[in-house]
A = this chain, B = another copy of it.
Amino acid sequence: MNPNKILLVDDDEDILDLLEYNLTKEGYSVETALNGRLAIEKANTFIPDLIIMDVMMPEMDGIEACGEIRQNPLLANTIITFLTARSEDYSQIAGFDAGADDYITKPIKPKVLFSKIKGLLRRNSQEVKNVESNSSMFIDREKYVVMQNDVEISLPKKEFELLALLMSRPNNVFTREKIFASVWGDDIVVGDRTIDVHIRKLREKIGEDYIKTVKGVGYKFVDIEN
């Protein structure tokens, strides 16, 4: 299934119509909402892959809505992007705190916006690359090792790919479904406990605190301060 469901949230109907029209024409499945509260409702049923949301809205603003949406495990992998005026510096910071993935500054040309959307959605399905986070750990695909505080940890293939996936988006929850699809491939079927066992082995090797279980949802890699 290609990721292509977009939820647009803005209090200006003209903008909604314009974007909806053009994005639909591009082949995306689009829904809209006029404020934060409605956005939450729509998101819970529509399960979009991407939410583009204005910050300033009546009823419930984007920041608050974002926080709510991030509570829903089903939307763990949904990318949330804010629309924000260039100068509203504070909203950007608050937005990231609330769990936003990105922000787009207004005004923006439709063409630029579309290519941006394409890029964002592509990220979800991208092959996992070397990952450099500002944590004490990073993946070295060339050497096929994980560096932890300048110590090399070598891992078997499946464990390595699993960790690489989780680290590709720290703090982001990966569902078991996504993990299977990415590490094992869509066709191969293995038992339910297989992921658990690999997670366990990883925790044994890199420490208990890096991989966090989100019960009923999946697993995430969290950054640890030195």
Contact = CB atoms under 8 A, between A and B. Distances in A.
Given A129-B96, A215-B156, A220 B89 contact: no
Contact of A157 (B86, B126, B172, B217): B217
Contact of A173 (B89, B102, B144, B171): B144
Interface of A: 86-90, 93, 96, 101-104, 115-116, 118-120, 122-123, 126, 129-130, 132, 142-144, 150, 154, 156-157, 169, 171-173, 214-217, 220
A143 B93 contact: no
A217 B143 CA distance: 11
A216 B143 contact: no
Nearest to A132: B102
A111 B122 CA distance: 33
A215 B96 contact: no
Given A90-B115, A90-B119, A119-B90, A215 B157 contact: yes
Contacts of A216: 156-157
18 contacts: A86-B102, A89-B102, A89-B116, A89-B119, A89-B120, A90-B119, A93-B119, A93-B123, A93-B126, A93-B129, A102-B132, A103-B132, A143-B172, A144-B173, A144-B217, A156-B215, A156-B216, A157-B216
Contacts of A220: 143-144
Given A96-B129, A143-B220, A122 B90 contact: yes
A102 B126 contact: no
A126 B89 CA distance: 11
A96 B156 contact: no
Nearest to A115: B90
